[in-house]
Structure 1
């Protein structure tokens, strides 16, 4: 087990580790390329079909196969060398981008390609997440996760901005070609920058799907692991659900143009909270902030009961976003609670669960908005954040 003292890690410590620099650089390229890829794909679909609905589906289509991959295939993240999986993931993205750009496939075949190749993406991502604790020990791991979250959000925004510029200059096919180049550039970073660690689990002849289902069941029946997973999922579900109805809320007020500002304020709050809690709060004090941060996430949302205008809505959303830093105090206990030979499987289950509950959160918030005024639906989501935190007080509270 890693030894953790009460001194918080620093960003300088992280970047003095060569493997972390390679993993961080490849992660940035991945986020940039994936954002540009899905933007270009949605433009191609709209150009060919002139259907806003199909274009929107093409933008979100990657979530479903990743969820399925996490639920049914994530045991492969422990049964194959992680570096092999990461390189395979980048090369797969290169091939998909080139086929989408130049193969002249009909739209239905393009959808099928993105769906099918999206399933193992969950395995590739689980391998990335599972190798991080091998590279970073103690509090460095927690700060590394915070840094990945912060820069991931920034890289996604940058990817959309860069993607828009690429589309204007080169068209969607050219943007996909550049995306393939970004993914290809990540291959040598991974191949030469990250150690070729062995697979964690020994193959026993069990198929990947059966091994994943059995492993997921055993993780979920472990009281400690289940509590940590639910603590990471449920408050997040209602927080994301509230975001799903920000657009109709502001549209009803005649301020539809401010929706982007409020959503961006949430993302900014998340980044700010992760930065402050990850960098400036000691590990011991951070462990005590689980419940207070969940409360910080829920209480500002309850403030929407007053039907605030765009500026106040942005301030409340920023404050609520800060509370998402509660996820940091779950990271080290989760890694310590999971058997090493199932770490990749555990991260796959965690990731697929997060994608699932975020979708469910939108359904819950949308259903509430059909029953009550939209601002009341957002306030109810804030109340549900608090209720879920209270029910999950044990995993959100440090062991005594």
Structure 2
């Protein structure tokens, strides 16, 4: 443990002003990062099985795109309601301890869900609590990562985590239908509970203890922290713009909520509807894996910020092709390309981290994450309502058009803000 403390994460040895691209090998060599990386991937894999089963089951029972999208959107509600308040726990208490507590509690709750015969209302309540606990866990992990990795190492570590998460989602979505048909929903839930326990064990063995980010004598109330975090995030034009870039995903995530009814519309008999559903839900994560690798590995840090607006537009533009009702292969290609464009989130995330004080990162990340849940949930719900009347294809295309327009506006604001900052810096240097 002492040797691990002495080890400097990649990027700390650089002199001021230098910007060296870090390799994936250097990032993976950091033991604490590996623990965060493995634990996140393990628990996410279990979650995807339940998500696919839920989408297919609801649509099979109701035949309603609105009902399917509503249930999918319902999983975002706890993060919207409790995220801003609970995320501050990761600033008030030791972040590793917060993550362990959340993992253990979620393992117990999901274990209860795996018991046959649990009433439907109880299942809904348990799902609400499980998703609610993801808010402080995600905030703690997001705030801890910049302490483990600094500078460009943080970007590379974020890219590696993002690629892994998307690959796990792709695998879970693509194979989820077949696995659920073989295992059944209760065994899938039991497996999900086991992944939370595995994540907790990895964190205990691989992440060292750190004190709370805020001293014991300087811990304001949760409500005061939430208000202070909101002023911090939305009081700065730069942070506001970066947050809106992050929330842009509400447009290009919408198709995932319509995957089951879209699969029914594309069904021609060659592939079963659950298989088409899984392929559609896996397409964007697949593109994100490719985009994150290319964007982090072959684009320099300063250039990532310059390309952020263009990549954001790319994340939405391919969705417009669905207006002409193309075949499955074209839809999959368009959704993969959209996922590639979503790699701009790496640059936005890194810029956001650099602009937020370390002792307030968890609260700031929690507010952004809550907003993400809100825009995604509302977007999917509105999309389902519209698809009930128009069909999934034109709704996805409309989301793409609205997303491109929003991304273009943000790109102009970001360019103006970046150019102004560059002029101020040049004047100060002169």
TM range (shorter): 0.7 to 0.9
| 1:217 shift after superposition | 3.8
TM-score w.r.t. length of structure 1: 0.85
Q: Does 1:292 align with 2:326?
A: no
Distance 2:221 2:237 in 1: 26
Contact 2:139 2:366 in 1 (8 A): yes
Task: Give yes or no for contact 2:68–2:257 (8 Å, CA) kept in 1.
Answer: no
SS in structure 2 at match of 1:20: helix
Correspondence 1:228-239 to 2 at 5 A: 228-234=242-248, 236-239=249-252
**Residue of structure 2 in register with 1:271 after alignment:** 289
Q: After TM superposition, give the deviation of residue 134 of structure 1 in Å.
A: 0.6
Say yes or no: does 1:70 pair with 2:51.
Answer: no
Is 2:259–2:280's contact at 8 Å kept on the other side of the alignment? yes
Find the counterpart in structure 2 of residue 225 from structure 1.
Answer: 239
- 1:387–1:254 CA distance, 2 compared to 1 (3 A): same
Aligned counterpart, 2:402: 384
Counterpart CA distance in 2 for 1:338 and 1:303 is 38
Post-superposition CA distance 1:16-47 (Å, at most 9, x none): 1111111111111221233346678899x99x
> Deviations 1:263-301 (Å, cap 9, x if unpaired)?
432221121111110122111222211122123223322
Please give the TM-score of this superposition, normalised by the length of structure 2: 0.79
2:340 is equivalent to residue 322 of structure 1 = yes
Please show how residues 150-189 of structure 1 align to structure 2 within 5 Å. Answer: 150-159=163-172, 172-189=185-202
Structure 1 residue 207 corresponds to structure 2 residue 221:
yes
Q: Which runs of 5+ in 1 are unaligned?
A: none
What secondary structure sits across from 2:210 in the alignment? coil
- Structure 2 residue corresponding to 1:312, chosen from 312, 317, 330: 330
User: In 2 relative to 1, CA 197–282 (structure 1 residues): closer, same or farther, beyond 3 Å?
Assistant: same
Residues in 2 aligned to 1:277 and 1:230: alpha-carbon distance in whole angstroms = 20
- SS of structure 2 residue aligned to 1:289: helix
Whole-Å separation in 2 of the counterparts to 1:97 and 1:12: 35
Gapped runs of 5+ residues in structure 2?
1-10, 423-430
Question: C-alpha distance in 2, partners of 1:115/1:321?
Answer: 28
SS in 2 for 1:88: helix
Matches of 1:117 and 1:314 in 2, distance apart? 31
Note the alpha carbon deviations across 1:85-121, whole angstroms, 9 max, x for none.
1111111122113322349643322322332343232
Q: 1:239 to 1:166 in 2, by over 3 A?
A: closer
Task: Say whether 1:35 aligns with 2:48.
Answer: yes
Question: Structure 1 residue 128: deviation in Å?
Answer: 0.7
* Structure 1 pair 21–253 and aligned structure 2 pair: CA distance change class (3 A): closer
**Cα distance in 2, alignment partners of residues 102 and 241 from structure 1:** 32
- Contact 2:80 / 2:373 at 8 angstroms: preserved in 1? yes
**Match for residue 370 of structure 2?**
352
How many Å separate the matches in 1 of 2:318 and 2:171? 28
2:213 aligned with 1:194: no
Question: Would the alpha carbon gap of residues 63 and 362 (structure 1) be closer, same or farther in structure 2, given more than 3 Å must change?
Answer: closer
- Residue matched to 2:105: 92
> Counterpart of 1:13?
26
Q: How does 1:54-69 map to 2 (within 5 A)?
A: 61-69=74-82
- Alpha-carbon distance in structure 1 between the residues aligned to 2:116 and 2:373: 31
- Contact kept, 8 Å, 2:116 with 2:186, in 1: the verdict is no
- How many residues of Structure 1 are paired with residues of Structure 2 in the alignment? 395
Moved more, 379-388 or 200-209: 200-209
Greater Cα shift, 265-274 or 342-351: 265-274
| Offset from partner CA, 1:321-354 (integer Å, 9 cap, x none) | 2110111111221011112211001111111111
The 2-side partners of 1:40 and 1:218 are apart by 40
Q: Give the root-mean-square deviation of aligned CA atoms.
A: 3.4
SS at match of 1:395: helix
Distance (Å, rounded) in 2 between the aligned partners of 1:207 and 1:17: 35
Distance in 2 (alpha carbons) for counterparts of 1:97 and 1:341:
32
Please say if residues 114 and 190 of structure 2, whose CA atoms lie closer than 8 Å, have aligned partners that are also in contact: yes
Match of residue 337, structure 1, among 355, 359, 368: 355
Given that residues 266 and 328 in structure 2 are in contact (C-alpha distance below 8 angstroms), is that contact kept between their aligned partners in structure 1?
A: no
Give the aligned partner of residue 395 of structure 1: 414
Q: 1:51 to 1:228 in 2, by over 3 A?
A: same
Map of 2:142 onto structure 1: 129
